[in-house]
A and B are shown apart, each in its own frame.
Chain A
């Protein structure tokens, strides 16, 4: 129990430290530069307390409930024993296990990792739906568009983008292809789409690339990347573990623009 208390305390301190520079800057501008009284000061202070307490609770909860089990899952799903089916190895006697494990690992085809790809897509999608900063941007986009852009439409479009990129990133680590090809192809699609997508959506689509990689998604995705890079033969966690996040900030741009294009086509027909 004292361990949990320390975690709670540390998380609160970290969240307050996160918000301190913003609070300082805002106070400096209000008092020194603008010399204005802040309207609804009491309400804003209450809101700040909500934000700090809410974010801290959210992080503590993730730390207790989701991250440990998510990391164990990522390790187990990438384990060669799981991928080839455990029985094959258990049948052999102890002295052969090491040799046969090595042989098994080397003979795994890329498609045998299918549960990894499905997990990658599912975890990418579901964590993005719960990403607080994306919720914030979706609320604002709905307001700015005068209600034309539904918050759920945007969030699902971004989540599909993240799902594709994490699955693709897992495939890339398994096959050992170069990240650069995927990034170049992605950028090319973004550039072409920018020319044809409705003008209204383009800035928001660019923004959704940066929003996706926050509190919930990054720790789980990193665990998956490291798990894969350390079990697939010939991969190094240092070099191949990277890149999932880079892809995850690229593909949401494509899916958000596609969402707007499809909506327009459906409205037009």
Chain B
């Protein structure tokens, strides 16, 4: 119980900055009273409790799960299953992501307005589905390449900088309407549940495999998952 109280205290401290900013701007800069203060207070209590519960749950479930999976898969010694796991984790968590569904729909609407695709219900929904699958596929490939990199010990900066160059070049040729969506799609792929699991997976792998350093080799999976989708979506915009 005392552990939970400490987590609550930490959560309060994490949220203190937001509270200060909102109160300062509302009362000092805009000089307005708070609308529905009880609703805001109840909401704040929920936010603090929720954050505390989530952080406790991380240490109990997502962190150990990610690390145990990494260990078990390496012990099994089957490269196919390890890479398949990485791909499925990326694809599976992204394809049904509500934020991505929303972005894809919006992109289809913009493209239809701009005349890039035919302006019918049917072509819009198939464009949106194609975009969703493209992003999910690219996140799956990111994690697959990321895990392969940890196994082989490739230095990360060549891949990241190379990726940037590819994106810069593709941006010159991609249709105007897709660029904003492409840059945004990198951000929507990494949800609050995926990040801890993927981070634990990377750290777990680099701890189990000989000659790898958790700091140098363990991180980087998230970076790939936010970089690859940009390039893939730009390509999709040029092809579709």
What residues of chain A have their CB less than 8 Å away from a CB belonging to chain B? Answer: 14, 17-19, 21-22, 24-26, 29, 33-34, 36, 38-40, 43-66, 68-70, 72-73, 76-77, 82, 115, 119, 122-123, 125-127, 129-130, 132-133, 135-137, 139-141, 143-145, 180, 184, 187, 190-191, 194, 199-204, 206-207, 209-211, 213-216, 218, 238-239, 242-243, 245-246, 248-249
Contacts and interface: CB of A to CB of B under 8 A. Distances in A.
Interface string B86-129: 00110011011111000000000010000000000000000000
B64 A44 contact: yes
A133 B192 contact: yes
Contact of B195 (A24, A25, A133, A238): A133
Interface of B: 14-15, 17-18, 20-22, 24-26, 29-30, 32, 34-35, 39-65, 68-69, 72-73, 76, 81, 85, 88-89, 92-93, 95-99, 110, 156-157, 160-161, 164, 168, 171, 180-181, 183-184, 186-197, 199-200, 203, 213-223, 225-227
A73 B25 contact: yes
Given A207-B219, A243-B183, 5 more contacts: A29-B81, A129-B17, A144-B214, A145-B215, A245-B183
Given A21-B93, A50-B57, A59-B50, A123 B219 contact: no
B61 A53 contact: no
A14 B102 CA distance: 14
B interface: dominant SS = helix
B69 A29 contact: yes
B22 A33 contact: no
B17 A130 contact: yes
Nearest to A246: B183
A256 to B, nearest CB: 11
Contacts of A125: 17, 21
A49 B92 contact: no
Contacts of B223: 203, 206-207, 209-210
Contact of B72 (A34, A127, A248): A34
Contact of B39 (A19, A47, A64, A140): A64
B195 A214 contact: yes
Contacts of A119: 21, 25, 29
Nearest to A24: B92
Nearest to A55: B54
Contact of A43 (B39, B60, B99): B60
Contacts of A214: 190-192, 195
